[in-house]
Amino acid sequence: MCGRFALTASPEEVRALLQYLDLPNFPPRYNIAPTQPIAIVRQGPGGRRFALVRWGLVPGWVKDPASFSLLINARSETAGEKPAFRAAMRHRRCLVPASGFYEWKKMEGGRKQPFWIRPRDGGLVAFAGLWEEWSDPDSGDIETGAILTTSAAGRIAEIHDRMPVVIGKEDFADWLDVLNVGHREAAELLKPAPEDLFEAIPVSTRVNSARDDDPGLQEEVQPVSSGGEKDGGGDRKRSGRTKAAKTDGQLDLF
């Protein structure tokens, strides 16, 4: 799945790729975690618009978000039919700009090695996303989002069997056009990335902690081994009162 990612490009670089109308200013983020704000781009009146939403989608029909399992990922193969994502696939599709993402590989001895997975040629990618709005008469409206995933390709499949869906620049318009492009047609864009798009490098287990957010997280290190020093192992369970439901992976936090 996709439980951590980064957006380290400048606001100008992100806007140049995604061509939205707004002029937001935001800092580089090296370790974006669930429940934190994530940047999305969606179609709005007159053009594309930039927005920040909470990572962890909450459908509008949920009565109490505090008791609802976080939906940070949506399986692309079933998102059009799942009750939690069905409406968003039809009416609220978005793009999530990213410089890359992190994934954890189970190593010999049970330890987990984090990998920083980035475009081989540098630059940015845009993940396929969904967003929702949850309304509360007391606290107001909350906008939330999820990243769509697909089967991993190439080297990434050796690390994990899932990865974010990458939407090519030539398909941005169709993915965002919820008025004229139906969910079935849009679903045809949800496919594994080209095998040579990404490269994966082992990085420090400091990325396990959402408190760490600095360029050093993306520096290459020697992979952990079964005989190496204890380093925290890369387990990625979020603390808090929201517990992940036991599912087919659709609702998994990581």
In a domain, 223, yes or no: no
Residue 191 or residue 241, greater confidence: 191
Asked whether 150 and 165 are in contact (CB, 8 A), the reply is yes
| Angstrom distance (rounded) from CA 159 to CA 64 | 35
pLDDT of residue 70: 86
In a domain, 149, yes or no: yes
In a domain, 226, yes or no: no
| Angstrom distance (rounded) from CA 126 to CA 14 | 10
Residues in contact with 27: Cβ distance below 8 Å, sequence separation at least 6, in sequence order: none
Overall domain count for the chain: 1
pLDDT of residue 102: 98
| Angstrom distance (rounded) from CA 179 to CA 230 | 52
- Is 114 buried (19+), middle (13-18) or exposed (0-12) by CB count in 10 A? buried
Q: Range of 10's domain?
A: 4-218
Q: What are phi and psi of 16, to 5 degrees?
A: -60, -35
pLDDT of residue 237: 33
In a domain, 185, yes or no: yes
In a domain, 171, yes or no: yes
Helices (H), 150-228: 156-159, 172-176, 183-187
Active site residues: 2, 103
Residue 223 confidence (pLDDT) above 50: yes
For 72-83, the pLDDT digits (tens) are 999 999 999 999
Residue 139 confidence (pLDDT) above 80: no
In a domain, 156, yes or no: yes
In a domain, 41, yes or no: yes
Which CATH number does the domain housing residue 49 bear? Answer: 3.90.1680.10
In a domain, 245, yes or no: no
Residue 98 confidence (pLDDT) above 90: yes
E strand or H helix at 118: strand 112-119
For 40-58, the pLDDT digits (tens) are 999 999 999 999 999 999 9
The least confident of 8-12, 65-69, 136-140 is: 136-140
The two structure tokens encoding residue 213: 């957010």
